[in-house]
Chain A
Amino acid sequence: MTDRLTFDAIVVGAGPAGVAAALTMAHGGLNVIIIERGRFAGAKNLFGGVFYTHALADVLPDYWERKPPFERPVTEQGYWMLSPDSAIRVMHKSERYLKEPADAYTVLRARFDPWFAEQAVAAGALLITRTTVTRLLKDERGRVIGVDTDRPDGCVYAPVVIIAEGVNNLLTQQAGLIASDLPPKYVALAVKEYINLPAKELQTRFGLSGPREGVAIDVFGDVTLGLPGTGFIYTDQSGISIGVGMLLDEFVTHRLRPYEVLERFKNHPVVRPYLEGGEVREYGAHLIPEMGYDRMPKLASDGVMVAGDAAGMVDALHREGTNLAITAGKMAGETALAAHQAGDFSAAFLSRYRRSLEASFVLKDMKQYRRMTDFLESSPQFMGTYVNLLNEAALRYFTAHGIPKRTMEHDILKMVRERRSFTGVAWDMLKLMRAMRG
C-alpha cells in the first residue's frame, strides 16, 4: 500500500479542459498528474480553428506575456451562404477587433495545446505523455480512487480524478456518468485540411493588411449539400484551415465520404480562388459532441468529475468549445481544491462543480441552445432550400433584365411559395426562434 503511486489529483487528457483543471489545482498547491495518450499534448487534437481568449485569461491572467502560439487574431468574421454556383457573403469587419490581445484567435491545436500544457508544468503539474488510461479504479463502494494505464504497473491513485478524455467518452461511461455511447445523430463528424500559403499571398487574397489581421468564415448551404452542418474557412499565420462538418448520421444515411464532401467544397467556384496554389500540409478528422444540454452526462460522482468534450460542452451555433472546456476545467479544479480543504470527495460535495457551471455561461448557453441539434435535424430546409432561395433572389434582385421591378418581386415571392409554402416558412421561423431563445 505504501508504495502506491499517489497524487492529490489525476487529470486524464491534456487538452484545454484537462490542462485548465491541472493549472488551477497546481496553482492551489496540489500535487497533480496529467496523463496524456498522445506523444505530446495536442497530438490527437484537432478543431476548426477559432479560440476565444476570455476563458484562458481566467486561468492564466498573464497568458499574453507567455507568448501563446496563436495564428492570427480574428478581425473579420461572418457567414457565406453557398448555392451550387453562387454565394451570399455577410461579413463583419471592425477596427474594434484590432486590439491586443484580441478576443479571438485562429489556432492550430498541435501547436497551441503543447504550449498550454507547458504552463501547467511550469505551475508544478506533472505531465505524463504516451500513456493511455485504460480504466478507472474504484473502491469496494464504487468510489473512483485512481486510474489504470497501459504502462507496466501503471496504476495511479488520487482521491479525485478529473476526466477530460475528449469526445470518445469511454471513461465517462465507465464512471457511470453517462449510460451509453453518443448516438450518431448527436455527434458531428468534421474533416479539415490545413493548406499552406505564403502569408503575403494569403493577406492579399483575404484583404488583410498584415499578420495582425485574420478572417473566420462559417459556411452554410451547398457546402454540406444542403444537409444540416457547416463548413469553415479560417486564416492561419501562413495557411488556411478549411473544413466541413455534419452530423455523423447524415454521412451514414447518405453514404457520403467526408473527404469528398470537403473536396467538393474546395472546388466551389467562390472558394477555389482562395486556395489556388496552396499545398495541403495536413488532413484530419474529429468528432464533435452535439448532444446538447439534455443529454449531457452527470458531471460528478464520488471521486470523479468530467469536463470538456467528454461532457458534451460545445455550443455548435457559435463554434465554441475550447472556451467552455477551459472554464469547466477551471471550475472542476477549484472544486477539487475545495474538496481537499474539506477532506470530502463525495458526489454530494463535488456537485458544487455543477453549480459553478450553472452560474457561468457554460451551462447557461448549453441550456439556451438545448434544442438546436434537434431543430437542425428536423429542418433540413434551413441549410438547403433557404440558402438556395436567397441566392436566386439575390441574382434576380441584382440583375437588370428589362423586367419591371414589381414583376421581379412577384417572381421572388412565387419562388418562395413554390419551394416552401408561406405557412412552412412561418413554421420554420417559429421553430428557429424557439431553438435560439431556449
Chain B
Amino acid sequence: MRPARPLLESPHFLSLLLLGAVAWSLTGVAWGEPLLHTGGGDSALDMLLALFPPDLSPAFLLVCLQAAWHTLSIALASITLAVLIGFPLGVMASGALVSPDSRLRAPLMLSSRFVLGTVRSIHELVWAVLLVAAIGLSPLAAIVALGLPYAGILGRIYAEFLEDTPEEPLTALRSAGASSWQTLIFGRLPLCTPDLVSYTFYRFECSIRSAAILSFVGIRGIGYEIQLSLGDLLFSQVWTLLLALLAIVALVDFWSGRVRQSLLES
C-alpha cells in the first residue's frame, strides 16, 4: 500500500479545481449582448474588400519601401546587439568554461542566468516605453529595446544548445589534453553551430515582426505607417504595408534556409 497523498498534491484534485475555475468564469460573460458592435460587420467587410486591389501607386510604394527598409535595419541592428550580448552570457551560463568541480562554477552560471532572465522577462514593448522616455524617439531606443530581451532569449537557448552537445567527442578532446576553452572552441561550438545559426535566424525573423510593432510607441517603420493609414481608414494602404512585411519575412526565411543548407552540406 502506498501512503495516501495529501489532498492538495493529488493531480485529480488540481484538475477539478481548475475546471471549477473555468466554469465559474463563464458566469461573468454577458450572454445577452451581441458579439459584434452595430456596424462592426460592415467595416470588417470594407477592410477585406480593400485587398482588391491594395494601394500600388508609385508614391505609396516608395513610402512602403522606406518603411520596410527602416524596420529591416532596426531588426538587423538589434539582432546583432542581441548576439553580441547573448553569446558570451550564454557561454557563461552553460558552464562550458568552468570545470565541474570548480568553486566558481555555480556563482558564474547563476549570475549569468540571472542577467539573461532579467532582460528577458521584460517585454520589448516595455523596454521601448522605458527607453523612449529615457533617450527619446530614436532608432537607438528601438535597437536597444529589442536587443536586450532578444539577448536574454538567445543567451538562454545558446546555453542549452551548448549543454546538449554529445559528450563523447568532448571526452576524447579532454583525454587528448584539451582545456575547457579548447573543448569549447574545437568541440562544443562546432558540434552545435548549425543549431546556433538556424535559431539565430529564426529570432531575426521574430525581430522583424517586433520591430514593426515597436512603431506603435512612435518609432518609424512599417507599423508606424500602418497606424497612420488605419487612422485615415485607408485600408488598401494597410494591405500594401502588411504585404511588404510579409515580403521581408519571406526574404529572411529564404536566406536562412540557404545558410542552413550550406552549413549542413559544406
The answer to whether A and B assemble together is: no
Using a CB–CB cutoff of 8 Å, the interface residues on chain A facing chain B are none
Using a CB–CB cutoff of 8 Å, the interface residues on chain B facing chain A are none
